[in-house]
Amino acid sequence: MARATWLVIDTSALVTVERGSATCQDCLAERWAGLSAALSRRGRLIPANDLAVAATALHLGFGVLAGPQDDAHFRAVPELRVMTLQSG
């Protein structure tokens, strides 16, 4: 059975995920910049902290579990798997 991989976030606190090398920071910065440029071209910029979470999730091959208030931000990111946390 395949293990599900999801990056669970709380946008009130940004958590850094380390992968063991300084070059990871460079590749995440490049991913962040690429996503920012792509979203800007489409007129769909999202908050920088959500963009950092999206870049990290994509780099690690994870999806994102987001609250309903952040769902639209993450759904704007191409190729990002998004699940919305339902209240109740």
Tell me the per-residue pLDDT of 48-61, one tens digit each, with 9 for 90 and over. 989 999 998 998 88
Tell me the per-residue pLDDT of 4-63, one tens digit each, with 9 for 90 and over. 555 555 544 444 444 444 457 778 888 999 999 999 999 999 999 899 999 989 988 889
Q: How far apart are CA 70 and CA 10, in angstroms?
A: 10
Q: 12: left (phi > 0), else alpha (psi -120 to 50), else beta?
A: alpha
- The CA R_g of the chain, rounded to the nearest whole Å, is 13
Measured torsion, CA atoms of residues 66, 16, 40, 76, in degrees rounded to the nearest 10 = -20
Strands (E) located in the chain = 6-8, 63-66, 82-84
Cβ pair 18, 53 in contact under 8 A: no
